[in-house]
Chains A and B, each alone.
Chain A
Amino acid sequence: MILNVTGMRRASFSGVPRWVIVFAIVGAAFVLVPLIAMASRVNWGEFVALVSSESSVAALLLSLRTSVAATMLCVVFGVPMALVLGRTSFPGQRLVRTVVLLPLVLPPVIGGIALLAAFGRQGLLGRPLEVLGVSIAFSTLAVVIAQTFVALPFLVLSLEGALRLAGTRYEAVAATLGARPTTVLRRITLPLVLPALLSGAVLSFARALGEFGATLTFAGSLQGVTRTLPLEIYLQREIDPDAAVALSLVLVIVSLVVVGLTLRTAPGSRP
């Protein structure tokens, strides 16, 4: 793939010095070599048996279910957040943006501790919820909450950027023609940034799928309830490293498909 790109670029002036390309290749190899090395460790004879064990399938299905739910929550809350951040101005906006994007750079285990403080049994919101008979700790809902927490910034970030790039001229025209704000949002704004919304949602899904630290800290680990694929891989490593490697490859493939989908939708987000 890399050769293709350089071959293609040779025809026209690329402006990229050769030493830059060398460093780029080393960088790409840095990412690729560990993955290839891992793939070479896969026990192919047992692969199907390893990834189709009861616990593996339960973990994969749980991961997919919770990641879809988390992505939906990200869309429901992330789109309004991106709109408010990208289209309005209010005092303290920069601070709010920084805080909202914080889970992006926060070590997930800290996210887990923070979520525990909020939704745990002794938590700020968890305690009143417990009185109402709603228990979040150790439930699948806890996994979804943890995944949404870490995945939300991806959607907000990519959508807000697209909103800024798209500008407001079409919306302004629609408004002067008498369209109500909700109509403008539905007919103009959202179709305009749909590619960014899709790629943001896919990225959120990928992040939710890979969530580990916050889930481990906040949700616990029980087969079929809270033990998602990354947690299952971590556990399998203790008993059956072959199974851990095989499952890792499954997650790599799922992630590759997801990233591939994003790259296909991403160019459209640029006007």
Chain B
Amino acid sequence: MKKQLLATLTVGVLLATAGCSASSPAPAPSLAPTKDSLSGSVTVFAAASLTKTFGELALKFEAAHPGVSVTTSFAGSADLVAQINAGAPADVFASADAKNMAKVSTLVGTPVNFATNTLEIAVPPGNPAKIASFADLARPGVKTVVCAPAVPCGAATVAIEASTGVKLTPVSEENAVTDVLGKVSSAEADAGLVYVTDVKGAGSRVTGIPFPQSSKAVNTYPIATIAASKNSTVAKAFVEYVTGTVGRAVLAAAGFGAP
């Protein structure tokens, strides 16, 4: 009897706390209501590098469709894949690479590529180590920080090393591109390899040095609706919005390339 009560209690607590991880953006200002068939709410899971752009797109989408509310959840693509596999209530998934999208291929609709990103050298303001090219990163005494080969930005780094023949000896292989950026912006490292969009997003905290060999590793971002979505009409509309003109413009402004 008591055990039963406790079990109910525990389940209740678990239910009450489930689904707290998704962060929802501030409600969009209500515009003049247009005739719109879309309504309901959707949850969008997007790679951490899309935090700014997708936050903005979610607000714009809500403004365009007053009956719709979009909840966004940003994390590393691998984390999001694990959550989707565990049955997280997502309607749309935007991954930072095709590899992670492939891991949930049975749970999603057909993915559409919507953006590309390439690597760029980031250096602290003033460029203390006088980095000018990709080969400079391998110079003795230069403290270079890269992503670990296991994560997408690290895989891109390895691809560039292979195509240029320049072997880097980094002082650290970070788990996330944001950690690389942090080590550069705090001037702990002399240089780091991050995405073009990271350099743009960091503003004056780092200086970007583009290098031609970056075209050897172009990262493509796919987006797809989740098959189990309870609101697939809105989910599809959001995917079309991201791949459409508004999405293109917002992504391009942040430095993303066209797919």
Contact = CB atoms under 8 A, between A and B. Distances in A.
Interface in A185-232: 216-217, 219-223, 226-227, 231
B175 interface: yes
B16 to A, nearest CB: 15
Nearest to A226: B172
Interface size class of A (residues with CB under 8 A): 20 to 34
A223 B170 CA distance: 11
Contacts of B188: 116, 120-122, 137-138
B145 interface: yes
B171 A222 contact: yes
Interface in B16-64: none
A266 interface: no
Contact of B175 (A116, A122, A138, A235): A235
Contacts, number: 64
Contacts of A219: 172
Contacts of A238: 76, 78, 148, 150-151, 175
Contacts of B173: 220-223, 227
A120 B171 contact: no
B187 A121 contact: yes
Contacts of B2: 19, 22
A22 B6 contact: yes
A239 interface: yes
Contact of A239 (B143, B150, B174): B150
Contacts of B3: 22
Contacts of B82: 241
A116 B186 contact: yes
Interface string A114-138: 0010001110000000000000011
Interface of B: 2-3, 6, 10, 76, 78, 82, 143, 145, 148, 150-151, 170-175, 179, 182-183, 186-189
21 contacts: A116-B186, A120-B187, A120-B188, A121-B187, A121-B188, A122-B186, A137-B143, A216-B175, A220-B173, A220-B174, A221-B173, A222-B172, A222-B173, A223-B173, A226-B172, A234-B175, A235-B175, A236-B150, A238-B148, A238-B150, A239-B150
The 8 closest A-B pairs by CB, nearest first: A220-B172, A138-B171, A239-B150, A238-B150, A238-B78, A137-B188, A122-B187, A222-B172
